[in-house]
A = this chain, B = another copy of it.
Amino acid sequence: MHYKYDKIGAMLSNKDKTYIPEGFLLSAGEAAIKKPGRKDIALIYSATEANIAGAFTTNRVKAAPVKLDIEKTKSGKGQAIIVNSGNANACTGRKGMQDAAETASLTAKNLKIKPSLVYVCSTGVIGMPMPMEKIKAAIPVLTANLGRASLRDIASAIMTTDTFPKAIAKKIKIKNRTGTMTGICKGAGMIAPNMATMLCFILTDIAIEKRALSKALKDSVRKTFNRITIDGDMSTNDTALIMANGMLGNSEIKENSASYKIFKNALDEITYELSRLIVKDGEGATKLITIEVEGAADEKEAEKDAFSVANSNLVKTAVYGNDANWGRIMAALGYSGIKFNEEKVSIHLGNIKVVNKGIGTGKDAEANNYLKNNSEVSILINLNKGSASAKVLTCDLTEEYIRVNADYRT
Binding site for B on A (CB under 8 A): 58-62, 88, 90-93, 125-128, 189-190, 231-236, 311-314, 317-318, 320-321, 323, 325-328, 330-335, 339-340, 342-343, 355, 357-360, 397-399, 401-403, 405-410
Contacts and interface: CB of A to CB of B under 8 A. Distances in A.
B232 A232 contact: yes
B399 A326 contact: no
Contact of A331 (B234, B326, B340, B408): B234
B61 A334 contact: yes
Contacts of A317: 401-402, 405-406
Contacts of A236: 327, 330-331, 334
A330 B406 contact: no
A332 B233 contact: yes
Given A127-B327, A321-B406, 16 more contacts: A61-B330, A61-B342, A90-B327, A91-B355, A93-B358, A93-B359, A128-B360, A233-B331, A235-B331, A314-B405, A317-B401, A320-B402, A321-B405, A321-B407, A321-B410, A399-B403
> What is the total number of copies of this protein in its complex?
2
A126 B93 contact: no
A237 to B, nearest CB: 9
A328 B233 CA distance: 9
B402 A327 contact: no
A299 B233 CA distance: 23
Q: Is the interface of A mostly helix, strand, loop or mixed?
A: loop
A129 to B, nearest CB: 9
A66 to B, nearest CB: 11
A402 B284 CA distance: 12
27 contacts: A59-B331, A59-B334, A60-B333, A60-B335, A61-B333, A62-B334, A90-B330, A91-B359, A92-B359, A93-B343, A93-B357, A125-B327, A126-B326, A126-B330, A127-B326, A127-B330, A233-B331, A234-B334, A236-B327, A313-B313, A314-B405, A317-B401, A318-B406, A321-B407, A321-B408, A323-B409, A325-B409
B313 A231 contact: yes
A26 B93 CA distance: 61
Sorted nearest first, the 6 A-B pairs with minimum C-beta distance are A126-B327, A321-B406, A61-B334, A317-B405, A59-B334, A399-B399
A304 to B, nearest CB: 13
A371 to B, nearest CB: 11
A273 B327 CA distance: 30
A356 to B, nearest CB: 10
Contacts of A93: 343, 357-359
Contacts of A323: 406-410
Nearest to A124: B327
Contacts of A235: 331
Contacts of A355: 91, 127
A158 to B, nearest CB: 19
Contacts of A314: 189-190, 231, 233, 405
Nearest to A323: B409
Nearest to A336: B60
A313 B233 contact: yes
Contacts of A339: 60
A60 B399 contact: no
A161 to B, nearest CB: 11
**Residue among A92, A314, A317, A359 with the most chain B CB within 10 A?**
A314
A321 B406 CA distance: 4
Given A335-B234, A360-B127, A399-B399, A91 B320 contact: no
Contacts of A128: 360
- A232, A320, A406 pick with most chain B CB within 10 angstroms: A406
Nearest to A332: B233
Given A318-B406, A335-B60, A358 B91 contact: yes
